[in-house]
Amino acid sequence: MALVSPKNKFLIWGGNGWVAGHLKMILEKQGKDVVTTTVRMEDREAVLKTLDELKPTHVLNAAGCTGRPNVDWCEDNKEATIRSNVIGSLNLTDCCYLKGIHCTVFATGCIYEYDEKHEIGGEGFREEEEANFAGSFYSATKSKVEEVELSCANERVWIMKTYPNVLILRLRMPVSDDLHARNFVTKISQYDRVVDIPNSNTILTDLLPASIILAENSELGVYNFTNPGAISHNEVLSLFKKYVRPDFEWKNFTIEEQSKVIKAGRSNCMLDTSKLVNKLKEYGYTIPEIHDAYEQCFIRMAQGRAT
Ligand SMILES: NC(=O)c1ccc[n+]([C@@H]2O[C@H](COP(=O)([O-])OP(=O)(O)OC[C@H]3O[C@@H](n4cnc5c(N)ncnc54)[C@H](OP(=O)(O)O)[C@@H]3O)[C@@H](O)[C@H]2O)c1
């Protein structure tokens, strides 16, 4: 464990993004030195120039092509998605490596789906397990930038993990304490119908401070970055109704019916968080189980009158 230096300087990439905004707010509240950039990650010259000019000790990469209004956009814009999520992300990582800068990548855990070994209610996916969800182009770019199969050597090589300066945090269905359009709860509360499947979720108020602890201690490797446990859509919406919007009603449909109204498939899975929980214990930081975390989140939301 490295000692936290008072001279740390954080540079957030993708400065206008949703997660980036939350990170900036938290770092500022903590009195940390933080700047942001919107320089394109794939522009190698501009990236190197930005790193030279701003001289960060830590880059927080919250940039990524996520699609608007949702990941279905990536299905029709594959080159642009690769340019950001593969070429850009790797370029930024490599430039940070050349400059000796620690780089935290806000990645996604939507690279798995329940299977025979990982059934609903069973064991979660551990960090080292191979991605098994390729239902969306967005998820495919995100998983392939982490790992690649080298058939000639008959060995699996993890591209990102090869770099000795990288921390990869896999978020899933992130939730904020307000009803921002990017919030998973906002999304499902606005759909005509929702599926009802348990999933791992990331409550940003619980997890983003943990990302700063891990970054400033120069932790490395891959972490499933969600609250422990899994929660179903109906459980989320029942808590939303209880704490935030008492008159809220919703309807369910099956995953087969859902597939008729979306272009890209959606990942459903539970991630194993024991690696993250154990690591954060070293720093005296605990993350609430997902049902407790949602209750606390909706209480904060109701107090902020985000209805
Ligand atoms: N929100 C989710 O559901 C979710 C779930 C899991 C993981 N994540 C990951 O977390 C990260 C942040 O997500 P978010 O929700 O904050 O997304 P967001 O609001 O869409 O922000 C992403 C930001 O990245 C910028 N960007 C895209 N391509 C870029 C490039 N090549 N170079 C520089 N900047 C670029 C975008 O700018 P432009 O709009 O100008 O392109 C945007 O400001 C993403 O990597 C995402 O994949 C998000």
In a domain, 136, yes or no: yes
- Percent of the chain whose pLDDT exceeds 70: 93
Q: Is residue 238 part of a domain?
A: no
224 CA to centre of own chain: 9
Cis peptide preceding 174, ω within 30 of 0: no
Under the banding of pLDDT at 50, 70 and 90, the label for residue 4 is low
Q: Which amino acid is at 207?
A: L
Q: Cα–Cα distance between 247 and 304 in angstroms, integer?
A: 18
Query: Is the pLDDT confidence value at 299 over 50?
Result: yes
pLDDT of residue 304: 87
Query: What is the C-alpha separation between 149 and 43, in angstroms, rounded?
Result: 26
CATH number of residue 57's parent domain: 3.40.50.720
Residue 49 located in a structural domain: yes
In a domain, 208, yes or no: yes
For ligand 1, whether the C-beta of 73 sits within 6 Å is no
pLDDT in tens, 44-62: 999 999 999 999 999 999 9
pTM reported for the whole predicted model: 0.94
What average pLDDT score do residues 111-118 get?
Answer: 94
Ligand 1 centre to CA of 118 (Å) is: 29
Confidence of residue 16 (pLDDT cuts 50, 70, 90): very high
Q: At what angle do helices 233-243 and 290-303 cross, to 10 degrees?
A: 30
Mean pLDDT of the chain: 92
CA of 244 to the centre of ligand 1 (A): 28
Would residue 183 count as lying in a domain?
no
The reply to whether 68 falls in a domain is yes
* Segment 205-222, tens digit of pLDDT: 999 999 999 999 999 999
Pocket lining: 33 vs ligand 1, CB cutoff 6 Å:
no
Domain count, the chain: 1
Predicted confidence at residue 140, as pLDDT, reads 83
Mutate to test the pocket of ligand 1, among 66, 188, 224 (most ligand atoms within 8 A of CB): 66
Task: Report if residue 272 sits inside a domain.
Answer: yes
Q: 55: domain range?
A: 9-174+201-230+267-287
* 64 belongs to a structural domain: yes
Instruction: Output the DSSP codes for 28-74.
Output: HHTT-EEEEE---TT-HHHHHHHHHHH--SEEEE------SSSTHHH
- Comparing 97 with 254, the larger pLDDT belongs to 97
Mean pLDDT score, 85-98: 94
